[in-house]
Amino acid sequence: MQLDRFRIARNAIFGAIGGLAGWAVITLTLRFETTSTPLLLLKDALLGALVGLCIGLAIGAADQSADGWARRKLPRIGLSGLIGLGAGLAGLVIGEVIFLWAGGGVWPRAVGWAIFGLLLGVGQWPVTGLKNKGVYAGLGGLLGGLIGGATYERLSLTLLGLGAGREIALTVGGAVGLVILGACIGLFIGLVETILRRAWLRFIYGPLEGKTFTLDNSRPVITLGRSEACDIMLRHDPEAGAVHAAIATTGGAFTLTPREGPVALRTVGGAQSVTTRILQPGDTIQLGRSRFVFETGAEREGEAQ
């Protein structure tokens, strides 16, 4: 199985940056200590909302930056941030309630972070318009939130146990812990998508070389071209048309048709012009200077056997 290392690394790095930003924000804003249960829940709600906003923006930016930046992507990144805000608020409050009910412990709060990761991941469905992405990201966010959340909650306790002062333990543990939390959520979202997705395009030549794009038959048409309006932008390919080609999804099949530029199927014998083609696993397609391979999970399962 060939993992998309670029996607996984990008998600992990962006997630870590989001976690660090979240730590900076809560360090500047949430300075009060309390033993009152209502105020404690309020503090957890604010902490979860702020951290969730930062990690949500980061995860949204990681996915939307795959083929370059464009102004039309900003609302999607903002939506991912708002979903993260709500997910963090809900997850941390639920985690605190479980923590109080259980009488303490690392895992009750880790469950709260897992709920946050799950909700943030599922929220990528409306962000991207791809149902399967919501499923993959939800599962990845759940795993990443549980593992990263447990590490985050354990770290400060470990530093206190090693003799570090409370101020240092909470500061260092919080910073490193939230970076790990964000990185884990981003990493597992990318990893699970890479493992479970059923069809994707892998670019092997041109400006997007080395990058992959998941296909989902819940979106009826996927466009490729230099225009910022395209689903997959080829903005740095000088030979690509504004909307060079489109991939229509019908009944689980993906049909490629040219729009504003020629499309060719490359084979051992040369290149064959395409008017309409139902993509088959292993098809190598050329449009402009860009070249991609259509790959599916069925092909991957065959290799495993």
Lowest-pLDDT range of 29-43, 115-129, 260-274: 29-43
CATH domain 199-304 topology: Tumour Suppressor Smad4 (2.60.200)
User: H/E element holding 186?
Assistant: helix 166-196
Which is higher by pLDDT, 170 or 101? 101
pLDDT digits 0-9 by tens, 118-134: 999 999 999 988 888 99
- Residue of 106 and 226 predicted with greater confidence: 226
pLDDT reported for residue 300: 53
Instruction: Give dist(CA 96, CA 77) in Å, integer.
Output: 28
Contacts of residue 160, defined as CB under 8 A and 6 or more positions apart, other chains included, come to 166, 169
| Strand 290-296 relative to strand 284-287, pairing | antiparallel
pLDDT of residue 109: 86
Q: Give the contacts of 156 (CB within 8 A, at least 6 positions apart).
A: 169, 170, 173, 174, 177
Q: What are the counts of helices (DSSP H) followed by strands (DSSP E) for the chain?
A: 8, 11
DSSP codes of every residue in 33-52? ----HHHHHHHHHHHHHHHH
* pLDDT top residue among 91 and 162: 91
What burial letters (b/e) apply to 224-241, b meaning 16+ CB within 10 Å? bbbbeebbbbbbebeebb
Residue 164's pLDDT is: 67
Per-residue confidence band for 183, with pLDDT thresholds at 50, 70 and 90: very high
- How much is the pLDDT for 297? 81
| CA nearest to 118, candidates 151, 155, 156, 148 | 148
**Residue 1 in this model has a pLDDT that exceeds 60:** no
State residue 105's pLDDT score.
Answer: 81
Task: Give the integer Cα–Cα distance in Å for 132 and 305.
Answer: 25
pLDDT at 269 over 90: no
Q: Are strands 199-205 and 284-287 parallel, antiparallel or unpaired?
A: unpaired
3-state secondary structure of 29: helix
- Write down the pLDDT at residue 217: 81
Q: Which residue has the tokens 């909470």?
A: 170
* 304: pLDDT strictly greater than 50: no
- CB of 208 closer than 8 Å to CB of 187: no
Contact indicator for 164, 172 with CB cutoff of 8 Å: yes
Residue-range domain boundaries for the chain? 5-196, 199-304
- Report pLDDT for 305: 42
pLDDT at 236 over 60: yes
Assess whether pLDDT exceeds 60 at residue 185.
yes
pLDDT given at position 280: 94
Span of 105-114, 186-195, 268-277 with lowest mean pLDDT: 268-277
Residue 35 above 80 pLDDT?
no
pLDDT at 285 over 90: yes
- At 284, is the secondary structure helix, strand, or coil? strand
The structure's pTM equals 0.89
Q: For residue 64, give Cα distances in angstroms to 57, 141, 239.
A: 10, 17, 23
154 or 285, which is more confident: 285
> Tell me, what's the pLDDT at 166?
62
Q: What is the mean pLDDT of the chain?
A: 89
φ/ψ (deg, to 5) at 285: -115, 135
Residue 157 has pLDDT above 80, yes or no: no
Provide mean pLDDT across the span 256-285: 90
